[in-house]
Structure 1
C-alpha cells in the first residue's frame, strides 16, 4: 500500500514537471514602469506552475528579439505595440498603466496645451519606447537617448526644450539628479494601459494568463502586488 502511494506521488510529480515550463521574456531597461512589471509578472506565471526569466534590454532590441523568436515575449507594452508587431499576441486584459508626460524648465517659456503643441519644440525621448514614439511621430525636432536620466541631463543643459516620458519615471530621474528647475505639465498628454505580450508560438498562454490576471484583479490580489512592487521600485530609485 505504501509503495503504491509513493508511486502515485512520483507519477503526479512527473506529470507536473512535464507541464511546468520556463519562459524567457524581455523588458525595456531603465524605465520605472518596466521595473514594476518585472516584479508583478512572475506572480501570473507562478499561479500557472511556470517559471520565467526577464532580461532588460534597450527598447528596439527588446522588440526585435521577440519578433524573431529569440525571446518568448515582452513583459509590458501599450496596445498599439501588437498592431506594429504581428508576430506577437496581446494578453487581452491590461495589468498596469502609464502616463505620457512633458517635462520642461521653469524659465523656458514652453507652453503646451495639447499634443500638437509639441511640434514647436526640440524634444527628447528614450529610444524604442512606443508611447513617446507615437506621440512624436512626424515631428521635426526629436532626439533619442538611452535613459530617462540622460534625457533630463540634456534638458537641464538646455540642448532640448521638452522631455517626454512616463510621469513617475520622469519625477524619479529629476529627483536622482537633484534638479530643481525642471517641472511637468499639470496633466499628462495621454494615459495608456499596459499589456503583456507573448510570441505567437505560445498562443496557449493567451487565455491562461488572461484568466489569471482577471481573477487577480477581481479578488484584489493584483492591486496589493502592484502597490508592493511600486514601493520597492520607488524606494530603490
Structure 2
C-alpha cells in the first residue's frame, strides 16, 4: 500500500533522505581520533630528547627523511616521557619516536611500527656498590632509597613491589637523578641505557664520570616507534619506508653523523667515549 501511495520516486527519495540522516548521525558519533583513510599532510611526533642529544639527533635524522619521502610535513614536540603519554591520550601528538614494549602493552590502542633501530638495557646505577645487593630481589625489606626517571615504565614496575613509596623518588631526567645521588638523597638510580648514553654525549658528561652500573634489570629490549590508532593507513607506508632506508644503510649512517655532531657540539674527543 505504501509503495503504491508514495510512488517509486517518492519512496526512493525518502530512503535516500533516511540514509543521509543515518550518515549524519554516524558521523556525529564517531570520535575525533577515528581512523583516517588517507595519509596526513602534517604529523606531530613526540620525543623525550632534544635534537642536541645523541639519540635525539639520530632519531630526527631518521624520521625527517622518512616523512620527506612520504610527502608529510613533520613537527617534533619534546616533552618528558610521562607528558608524552598524556599528549598521546589527548590526541595532541600523532606518534612517538621510540618506546619499549612495556609501553605498547600498557597502551594496546596504539600502533607499533615493526622497525627496531636500537636495543636498550634497563639498569641500576650508583656512585658506589650497595652492600648485599646484586639483584633486584635483594632490595626487598631494605631501607635503601631508590630514584628512577619518571615514565620509564619498567623501572617503576620492577621497583614498586620491592620498596614502599616513601623510598622511591621519580625525576624528570637522568641529570636530576644523578644530582640527587651526589647530594646523598638516594642509593641508586634506575634508567634505560639510551638515556645515560645521551647524557654522556653532552655538555654535562663530566657529571656522569663517577656513575657506575650496578647491574642490569632486563635483557636487551627493542625500541619501536608508535602511532596513534587513527593513523592506521600510515602504518604500512611508514614501516616500508623505514625498512627501505635501513636497506640503504641510512640508519647506521645517521647514527655515525649524530655521534660526529655530538663531538663537534661538545668538543668531546672520540677516545673519551666508550
Pairwise same-fold verdict (TM > 0.5): yes
The match for 2:25 is none
The answer to whether the 8 A contact 2:147-2:177 is kept is: yes
**Cross-structure match for 1:161:** 187
Residue 92 of structure 1, CA deviation: 1.5
Q: Which residue of 2 aligns with 1:23?
A: 43
The runs of 5 or more residues in structure 2 that have no matched partner are 1-37, 267-274
Q: Matches of residues 35-74 of structure 1 in structure 2 within 5 Å?
A: 35-74=57-96
| Aligned equivalent of 2:223, options 194, 202, 206 | 194
In structure 2, what is the equivalent of residue 128 of structure 1?
Answer: 151
Matches within 5 A, 1:94-109: 94-106=116-128, 108-109=129-130
Deviations 1:119-170 (CA, angstroms, capped at 9, x unpaired)? 4532111111234233324231321011111100111122111111233533
Question: Which range is displaced more, 108-117 or 149-158?
Answer: 108-117
Aligned residue number for residue 26 of structure 2: none
Cα 1:200–1:227 shift into 2, 3 Å: same
Q: Aligned in 2, Cα 1:77/1:156: closer, same or farther, shift over 3 Å?
A: same
Deviations 1:190-226 (A, max 9, x none): 3211111111111111111111222222332211112
The range that moved more, 134-143 or 62-71, is 134-143
Larger radius of gyration: 2
Q: Map Cα deviations across residues 45-96 of structure 1 (whole Å, 9 max, x no partner).
A: 1221222111111211111111221111111111121221233111122222
Confirm or deny: 8 A CA contact 2:135 2:217 kept in the other structure.
no
Which shifted more, 79-88 or 187-196?
187-196
Distance 1:233 1:217, change over 3 A: same
Instruction: Normalising by structure 2, report the TM-score.
Output: 0.69
- d(CA) in 1 for partners of 2:61, 2:95: 16
Secondary structure at the aligned position of 2:121 is classed as: strand
Distance 2:117 2:89 in 1: 22
Structure 1 gap segments, 5+ residues each? 1-17
Of stretches 166-175 and 156-165 in structure 1, the one that deviates more from structure 2 is 166-175
2:135 paired with 1:114: yes
Larger mean CA deviation between 187-196 and 205-214 belongs to 187-196
TM-score norm. by structure 1 comes to 0.79
Instruction: Provide the alpha-carbon RMSD of the alignment.
Output: 2.8
Which residue is 2:212 aligned to? Answer: 183
**Residue 145 (structure 1) aligned with residue 136 (structure 2):** no
How far residue 230 of structure 1 moved from its aligned partner, in angstroms, is 3.6
